[in-house]
Homo-oligomer: A and B are copies of this chain.
């Protein structure tokens, strides 16, 4: 969607993806964090909105909600290779139950502490739908942005994919303990810091691998060729997905895995392995595609719009 289609007196309605694209043309948003120079340090700032209908499946605990909401913002700091310092939480809920709040804060504090951050403030509001907005402030010596990928480079991911997709399936099946555990992902702060010096571009996968590759492709005006059998799927995906299609749906097209996706020159292959990131393909001139056996298929720009 282009801003030029705007017609005076006529309403133009956009979906979330179009609206985000329009916003990116309109103001300096687009990276995982905003970078503010402050003396010798770079401050990193990011905010994320999560809410009941789209982010909290039936069976999710308050502890997991607190963890996940904070971890989503910490993940944005990780995506720029920074270290988080402070987290603010705006908490809107239909009512305030002390046990729920206590659990929520325990989850939020646990993931903060594990990553060197503190909850330093927030806002509390009565709201019909449980809505959490987390803001994280971090610092980074050399923040890595989404821009910088060049054809010929390697593309790699941290951890494994499909954790959230599998979690959603377990929530549906009523296996809530398992699902909650999968939903409490580790933001990749340490890996982000280690990868920052060698990454030419980096982001976290918040809308699924396929959409993230398309985002990097569009920012860098490059393409990607991914090798299907190099993708590290979460072990629970192997267990829950009976077909290749299901595996790809959960692992490539379901969002919110919050692993890091990065590009780096070929010479850093061994460094990547040492740090523990998996090479899944290479940067090409154009097109986002996946090698599957002997075929090369396009990887559509589809994913979870949250």
**Interface, chain A (partner B; CB < 8 A):** 3, 6, 11-16, 18-20, 22-23, 26-29, 31, 33-34, 36, 38-41, 43, 45-49, 51, 53-54, 85-86, 88-92, 95-99, 101-102, 105, 118-129, 131, 133, 135, 137, 305-306
Provide the bound-state CA to CA distance between A294 and B15, in Å: 62
21 example contacts (A-B, Cβ-Cβ < 8 A) are as follows A6-B98, A6-B99, A12-B99, A13-B95, A13-B96, A15-B96, A16-B126, A22-B101, A27-B119, A28-B120, A36-B86, A38-B39, A43-B43, A45-B137, A49-B90, A49-B92, A51-B131, A90-B133, A127-B129, A135-B135, A137-B137
The residue that A124 contacts in the complex, of B23, B43, B91, with Cβ under 8 A, is B23
How many chain copies?
2
Q: Please pick, from B53, B98, B121, the residue contacting A45 in the complex, using a CB distance under 8 A.
A: B121
Given contact pairs A97-B12, A137-B137, A123 touches B36 in the complex (Cβ within 8 A): no
Given contacts A41-B39, A88-B135, is CB(A123)–CB(B16) below 8 Å? Answer: no
Partner of A22, one of B43, B98, B123, B137: B98
Beyond A43-B43, A128-B129, 17 extra complex contacts between A and B, CB < 8 Å: A3-B98, A11-B97, A11-B98, A12-B97, A13-B96, A14-B101, A16-B124, A19-B124, A28-B118, A34-B86, A39-B40, A39-B41, A47-B89, A47-B135, A48-B123, A51-B125, A129-B129
Q: Which residues of B contact A47 (CB under 8 A)?
A: 88-90, 121-123, 133, 135
CA distance A54 to B306 in the complex (A): 25
A54 proximity list for chain B (CB < 8 A):
125-126
Q: Are B90 and A16 closer than 8 Å at their CB atoms?
A: no
Q: Across the interface, do A19 and B127 meet the contact criterion of CB distance under 8 Å? A: no
Residue of B nearest to A40 (CB): B39
CB pair A51 B92 closer than 8 Å: yes
**Docked pose: A68 CA to B275 CA in angstroms:** 46
Which residue of the partner chain B has the closest CB to A135?
B135
| Complex alpha-carbon distance, A3 and B22, angstroms | 47
Pick from B28, B128, B135: contact of A53, CB under 8 Å:
B128
Which residues of the other chain, B, contact A28 by a CB distance below 8 angstroms? 118, 120-121
Residues of chain B within 8 A (CB-CB) of A20 are 124
What CA separation (Å) do A43 and B201 show in the bound complex? 29
On chain B, the residues within 8 Å of A16 by CB distance are: 96, 124-126
**Cβ of A86: which chain B residues have Cβ within 8 Å of it?**
34, 36, 45
Taking a contact as CB atoms under 8 Å apart, the answer to whether B96 and A18 are in contact is yes
- Smallest CB–CB gap between A215 and chain B, Å? 14
* B38 in contact with A121 (CB, 8 Å): no
A131 to B54, CA, bound (A): 14
Residue of B nearest to A89 (CB): B47
